[in-house]
């Protein structure tokens, strides 16, 4: 019967071992809003957000959808597009980039690249991420898209694809420009994309000090890089991600930290001082780590790995879970039981190998908190006339 859904409720313990990450097929954060109560935190910054990275669940927000000037936090998008270009093979870390006059003329935070200077992609990434260098960010933008203008168009397109509805970019580095804005929620979304899809970003964001070599017509000279993110030394488990400051924007930051398998993203925008910025992100992270536990289910199928199929050459098909399941439980929700229900999405042949034919849905307090797709381990052909004759013949032989 096409479209039939079969539900099997199974009570589960709250904690189980895990190895893999939850898929993004269900936006758990939306359904979990009924479970998580907004805590009363003393956050001075005008805009803030706390997110659990694996699920995307928002644990705290304050004016999170207000578009504000992001300063160098802008570079998170430049970083994302850089890593995506590397993954796509459009760039290699060893590629040499020639710095343009336009890139070299960027003001603000910089590493003093000169027109015609050659730097590797690897070193430009370090300059941009560690020292928040505007000239390096624009040089990377030009290497990827040909011009900063075309790169900015890609930034805005990518923001739209990620659902960053309160962001608009005018440049690749975060220098003040009319209409250049981001919201705390959008920064959280962007930070999560970087962490989950490009975890190597923390190899750069955790560099405390390093050097590059300027190679110009005057010869070679060493230049020191120092991380602008002093929070790395102030908070246990901190591993990123990007700071920002201009006199107009104030102090902003996307702070990431990991403890006991939990990764949190704390965003603050428009802080009046650097100390307030760091105090607020610490308060957000402290709340998250104190109140967040992770529900994990590695054995999604519990050994029941076969699903009946009608109209096929076989009566059932083996399925495999696309991944393990995990979800953050916050505050009182940590003690509420979690159940899972099997939903059959396809029950008739033909079935292709790897096809998603079922789903395991996870519920808490009656709310869907996430799902795991179940895929066919083998294909099942649709039963034809010759298959029916073969079955009849085999049945005849067995009855003799």
Q: CB of 229 within 8 A of CB of 249?
A: no
Any catalytic annotation for residue 347?
A: no
pLDDT in tens, 46-93: 999 999 998 899 999 999 999 999 999 999 999 999 999 999 999 999
Residue 13: which pLDDT band, with cuts at 50, 70 and 90? very low
The predicted pLDDT at position 36 comes to 55
Domains, in order of start, for the chain: 9-20+298-385 (2.60.410), 39-293 (3.40.710.10)
pLDDT in tens, 320-348: 999 999 898 887 777 889 999 999 999 99
The gap between the terminal CA atoms of the chain, to the nearest Å, is 34
- Residue 42: pLDDT over 60: yes
CA gap 358, 189 in Å, rounded: 28
The string over 93-128, giving b where at least 16 C-beta atoms fall within 10 Å of a residue's C-beta and e elsewhere, is: eeeebebbebbbebebbbbebeeebebbbebbbbbb
Residue 398: which pLDDT band, with cuts at 50, 70 and 90? low
Q: CB of 329 within 8 A of CB of 32?
A: no
Averaging pLDDT over each range in 27-41, 79-93, 216-230, which range is the top one? Answer: 79-93
**Length of the chain, please?**
400
Instruction: State the average pLDDT for the chain.
Output: 88
Which member of 45, 82, 132, 271 is catalytic?
A: 132
Phi and psi at residue 264, to the nearest 5°: -115, 150
Block residue for tokens 């962001």: 167
Give the percent of the chain with pLDDT over 70.
Answer: 87
Any catalytic annotation for residue 82?
A: no
Any catalytic annotation for residue 72?
A: yes
Which member of 45, 47, 72, 100 is catalytic?
A: 72
CA atoms within 13 A on the CB side of 173: 29
**Among 233, 295, 246, 237, which residue's Cα sits nearest to residue 266?**
237
Q: CB of 180 within 8 A of CB of 170?
A: yes
Q: Enumerate the β-bridge partners of residue 351.
A: 380
- Residue 18: pLDDT over 90: no
CA distance to 75, 152, 230, 265, per residue, from 277 (Å): 18, 28, 11, 14
pLDDT in tens, 260-317: 989 999 999 999 999 999 999 999 999 999 999 989 999 999 988 999 999 888 999 9
CA distance to 61, 265, 275, 283, 388, per residue, from 287 (Å): 12, 12, 18, 6, 63
Block residue for tokens 């797709």: 373
Which residues lie below 8 Å from residue 374, measured CB to CB, with a gap of 6+? Answer: 300, 301, 307, 319, 320, 321, 322, 342, 356, 357, 358, 359, 360
Burial of 248: CB neighbours in 10 Å, binned 0-12, 13-18, 19+: exposed
Please indicate, yes or no, whether the overall pTM of this predicted structure exceeds 0.85: no
Burial of 25: CB neighbours in 10 Å, binned 0-12, 13-18, 19+: middle
Which member of 62, 68, 75, 242 is catalytic?
A: 75
């Amino acid at each position: 019967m096409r479209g039939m859904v079969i539900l099997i409720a199974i009570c589960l313990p709250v904690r189980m071992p895990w190895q893999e990450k939850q898929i993004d097929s269900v936006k758990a954060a939306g359904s979990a809003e009924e479970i998580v109560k907004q805590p009363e935190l003393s956050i001075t910054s005008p805009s803030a957000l706390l997110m659990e990275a694996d699920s995307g669940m928002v644990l705290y927000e304050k004016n999170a959808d207000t578009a504000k000037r992001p300063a160098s936090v802008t570079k998170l998008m430049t970083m994302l597009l850089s890593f995506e270009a590397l993954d796509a093979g459009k760039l290699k870390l060893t590629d040499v980039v020639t710095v343009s006059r336009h890139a070299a003329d960027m003001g603000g935070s910089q590493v003093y690249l000169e027109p015609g200077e050659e730097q590797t992609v690897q070193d430009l990434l370090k300059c941009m991420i560690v020292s928040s260098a505007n000239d390096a960010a624009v040089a990377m933008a030009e290497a990827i898209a040909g011009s900063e203008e075309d790169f900015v168009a890609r930034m805005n397109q990518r923001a739209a694809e990620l659902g960053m509805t309160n962001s608009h970019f005018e440049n690749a580095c975060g220098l003040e420009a009319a209409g250049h804005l981001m919201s705390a929620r959008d920064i959280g979304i962007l930070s999560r994309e970087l962490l989950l899809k490009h975890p190597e970003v923390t190899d750069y964001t955790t560099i405390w000090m390093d050097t590059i070599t300027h190679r110009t017509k005057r010869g070679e000279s060493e230049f020191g890089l120092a991380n602008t993110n002093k929070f790395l030394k102030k908070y246990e488990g901190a591993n990123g991600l990007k700071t920002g400051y201009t006199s107009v924007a104030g102090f902003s930051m996307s702070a990431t930290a990991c403890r006991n398998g939990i990764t949190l993203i704390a965003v603050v925008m428009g802080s009046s001082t650097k100390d307030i910025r760091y105090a607020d992100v610490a308060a957000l992270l402290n709340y998250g780590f104190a109140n967040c536990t992770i529900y994990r289910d590695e054995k999604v199928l519990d050994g029941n790995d076969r699903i009946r199929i009608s109209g096929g050459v076989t009566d059932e098909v083996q399925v495999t879970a696309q991944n393990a399941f995990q979800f953050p439980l916050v505050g009182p929700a940590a003690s509420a039981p979690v159940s899972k229900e099997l939903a059959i999405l396809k029950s008739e042949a033909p079935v292709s190998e790897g096809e998603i034919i079922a789903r395991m849905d996870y519920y808490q307090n009656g709310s869907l908190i996430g799902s795991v797709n179940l895929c066919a381990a083998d294909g099942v052909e649709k039963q034809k006339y010759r298959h029916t004759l073969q079955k009849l013949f085999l049945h005849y032989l067995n009855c003799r």
